[in-house]
Amino acid sequence: MENLPENGGTPELPEKPKSTAKALLVHLLKLVIAALLIYWVLKDVQWREVASLPRSRLVFAWFTAFILVFLQSTLSAVRWQMLLKAQGIFLSFPSAFSLTFQGIFFSLCLPGGAVGGDVVKAACIVRTSGDKKVEAVTSIFVDRLTGLIALFGLALFLFLLKLPAVAGMEKALQATVLTLAVACAAGLCAAFFILFHEIFLRLSLVRKLVNFADSFLKGAVTRILSAVDIYRKKWKTLLATCVMGIVIIHPLLFLALYCIAVILTGKAQDLLTVFFSAGMGNVASCIPGTVGGLGARDKVMQLLLETGGLSASDAAMIPILYTLGYVSCSLTGSICFVMNSFSKRKKGKKS
């Protein structure tokens, strides 16, 4: 294994993935899987019951989800701005907002999912970061890392609170929830290793394992560890962004699902059950296999909501409205992209 740069050294910039026919085929396959999963959820919706509801209630449920997801994404832009500032890169809030929403949008429509969205952000930010291109790209990875730490930590905490209920679930659902909980624990362990890798790399066995992984991943492990080293002295910023994710950013998504449940059913729901469903559903969305987690998130949410006492129809309709709010919010990124392209053309004509 090559030596890691010390105290903010300069790892290589990650290579931009090539757009190939294979990547497009995989993307189309993910879209098909997502569509099939969503169809599986929609099968349980009692459309006569939905049709009998006032349209204003359905619109209000969707709009509430849109607003809360929009606020969550806006705060994600603030978090990324904090990570950039920690490295002396001062990106205006409008630019951070625009690039964040563009990343969310392209994560749904480009091959590579979230990685594809991050590549778009990286391609844009390196143009304005001067001699701190590596730090700029690293901030995107660290932003993703702190977000996952917050999500996995919250989901695992909610899982422990709902452990008695999990014990009483049917075997298939119980196995799914346990798998997601193990994935959360594994993700947190991986994040702990990445953040404090210098301690573990003192062990020869760990170094051999990293070298072995690098041989298959073309040095990706070393590049990731090197990138995190850039933030070694910025632990306060890392801590602040993690806390921000745990206390505000992810709870907003959980709250969106709860608000939809209350508006759709017309009565208060068990907060812990809905938050647990949202947490596990969002963890499921992180697993590769569908575009932006669409379908996988919906199905997990539906099953857990139904197990928590909601009717099959309501349990199916709630995540669908959540997804509509999420997708609608992501379209803001397309508007930002068009406006950004128009602005560049206008500047080009002036020059």
Winning range, highest mean pLDDT, from 25-39, 73-87, 217-231: 73-87
Contacts of 281 (CB under 8 A, 6+ apart): 257, 297, 298, 300, 301, 304, 319
What's residue 348's pLDDT?
A: 63
Identify whether the C-beta of residue 195 lies closer than 8 Å to the C-beta of residue 142: no
pLDDT in tens, 101-150: 998 988 887 655 566 678 888 888 888 777 788 888 889 989 999 999 99
User: With 90 as the cut, is the pLDDT of residue 347 above it?
Assistant: no
What's residue 13's pLDDT?
A: 43
User: With 80 as the cut, is the pLDDT of residue 3 above it?
Assistant: no
Segment 38-44 shows an average pLDDT of 83
Cα(265)–Cα(57) distance, rounded to whole angstroms? 10
* 350 confidence band (pLDDT: 50, 70, 90): low
- Range of weakest confidence among 1-15, 85-99, 182-196: 1-15
Cα(237)–Cα(58) distance, rounded to whole angstroms? 40
Share of residues in the chain with pLDDT > 90 (%): 51
Cα(224)–Cα(11) distance, rounded to whole angstroms? 9
User: With 50 as the cut, is the pLDDT of residue 8 above it?
Assistant: no
Cα(110)–Cα(231) distance, rounded to whole angstroms? 29
User: With 60 as the cut, is the pLDDT of residue 16 above it?
Assistant: no
Taking alpha carbons only, the member of 79, 87, 84, 88 closest to residue 124 is 84
Segment 274-289 shows an average pLDDT of 91
- Range of weakest confidence among 19-33, 128-142, 230-244, 271-285: 19-33
Identify whether the C-beta of residue 246 lies closer than 8 Å to the C-beta of residue 79: no
What's residue 302's pLDDT?
A: 95
pLDDT in tens, 242-252: 999 999 999 99
